[in-house]
């Protein structure tokens, strides 16, 4: 025994049955799918083709999704994967490959920006010469600055000093 229901897929790709959300392909957002609801599972169809099958949830406000539904989208936008609900469901090898891809993209982005900025000399924190004339306020350490620990906290650093002391080097 089963019942049919026509359901709208929301902008996030979920169809809702009794407060529970079932993840379908993002390409179905805004479309109407047919749900064949059994006591133990739910089958989804779009244009008479199967588009998803899940165990039936009798909980409240649960989200059920299958990462394989999103492969097409991830191929187009691999950078979006780290912000998905299902990242931890991916096989370990996929997660490692995607993380490697994201790191490489970040390195390439930085290299493009440096090239576009047309810097004559590239300066890094490793090249900076810390001498005894540099004074840091109490509570601020060299390690704190080099580790960029102020970034996640959204703190600003203000550099004051004479010409040639390295303010610009540290700031960039």
pLDDT in tens, 93-103: 888 888 888 88
- Beta-sheet pairing, 32-37 with 41-46: antiparallel
Average pLDDT over residues 7-17: 93
pLDDT of residue 52: 93
Q: Which residues pair with 14 in a beta bridge?
A: 23
**Is 171 within the bounds of a domain?**
yes
Looking at the structure, tell me whether residues 127 and 112 fall in a common domain.
no
List the domain range (segments joined by +) for residue 57.
Answer: 3-65
**Is 159 within the bounds of a domain?**
yes
pLDDT of residue 22: 95
Average pLDDT over residues 24-38: 93
pLDDT of residue 30: 95
Tally of domains in the chain: 3
**Is 70 within the bounds of a domain?**
no
The answer, yes or no, to whether residue 70 has pLDDT greater than 80, is no
| CA–CA dist 50, 155 (Å, integer) | 51
**Is 71 within the bounds of a domain?**
no
Average pLDDT over residues 108-128: 83
Where are the extended beta strands (E) located within the chain? 3-8, 14-17, 20-23, 32-37, 41-46, 49-55, 63-64
pLDDT of residue 36: 97
**Is 72 within the bounds of a domain?**
no
pLDDT of residue 60: 94
């Amino acid at each position: 025994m089963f019942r049919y229901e026509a359901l709208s897929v929301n902008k996030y790709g979920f169809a809702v049955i009794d407060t529970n959300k079932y993840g379908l392909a993002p390409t179905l957002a805004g479309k109407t799918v047919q749900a064949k609801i059994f006591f133990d599972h739910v089958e989804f169809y779009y244009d008479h083709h199967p588009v998803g099958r899940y165990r039936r949830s009798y909980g409240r406000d649960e989200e059920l999704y299958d990462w394989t539904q999103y492969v097409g989208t991830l191929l187009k936008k691999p950078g979006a994967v780290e912000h998905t609900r299902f990242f931890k469901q991916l096989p370990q090898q996929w997660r490692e490959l995607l993380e490697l891809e994201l790191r490489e993209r970040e390195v390439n982005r930085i290299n493009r920006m440096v090239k576009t900025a047309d810097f004559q000399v590239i300066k890094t924190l490793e090249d900076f010469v810390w001498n005894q004339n540099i004074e840091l306020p109490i509570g601020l350490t060299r390690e704190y600055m080099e580790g960029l620990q102020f970034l996640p906290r959204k703190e600003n650093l203000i550099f004051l000093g004479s010409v040639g002391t390295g303010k610009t080097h540290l700031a960039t």
